[in-house]
Amino acid sequence: MRKTLRITRLLLTLGVAVMVVLEVWDRVGPRLEELPASAVTPKPLDAAFLRLTPRETAALPLATRFDMPLGSEHGALTYNARGFRIDRHLGDDLNGIGGENSDLGDPVYAAGAGRVVYAGVPSESWGRMILIAHRLPEGDELGPVVQTVYAHLASIDVRTGQAVLRGDVIGTVGNAGSAPLAHLHFEVRIGPYVNPGQGYADTPMNRVSPEKFVLARRGAEAAALNPAPQKD
């Protein structure tokens, strides 16, 4: 009997203690509505910390050929307004031969078969950007995966995770971000890291010349104007 009473008193004491703590917390504890919006608003995923896993890389569409992303398959009706590594530039600035904003709204094509791993606006300077990951054939010196980058777009016509074929329209040329005049900033990056990154640097980093990359992997006559195949 006495043991039962002691247990009952202990439980009552604990119950009262819990009630007191809850009451005190209710009076002096922080409330969500009193916190700044930044403390309760979910932050967007930072693509700088994303990396394709070996499994994701193996599941990428195989890119056996590449074409230029603007103009014709070999870049006719365009010119390279600022090439790779000119003034620390990490890509090629492709422009319509009319110059100025003559190519504003022109279609931008996927350079090769792959999967969209980023589609959005990473920063004001980049504007709208698309990153496509491509699995290269076994034995390619840059393999197993490269990414092509398309920036300063007027529109994005694909979504993250979407598979694309070489020659598919993925967006349109724009003058978004730091681009004063319409052009396509086009890059080729080695590796699985999904990071919008930067467009200028003192070293090439993981970038290679887009023009040389496409020419070496086009797999067609220099003057050929063949339509993109249904399967790559």
Q: What is the pLDDT of residues 131-165, one digit of tens each?
A: 999 999 999 999 899 999 999 999 999 999 999 99
| Least confidently predicted of 30-34, 47-51, 182-186 | 30-34
What average pLDDT does the segment 51-77 reach? 89
Q: What is the pLDDT of residues 7-28, one digit of tens each?
A: 777 777 887 787 877 777 677 6
Average pLDDT, the chain: 85
pTM passes above 0.85: no
10-14, 42-46, 67-71, 74-78 — which one is most confidently predicted on average?
67-71
Evaluate whether 221 touches 66 at the Cβ level (below 8 Å): no
Return the domain boundaries, the chain.
2-34, 47-216
| 47-216 fold | Glucose Permease (Domain IIA) (2.70.70)
Provide the pLDDT for residue 77.
Answer: 77
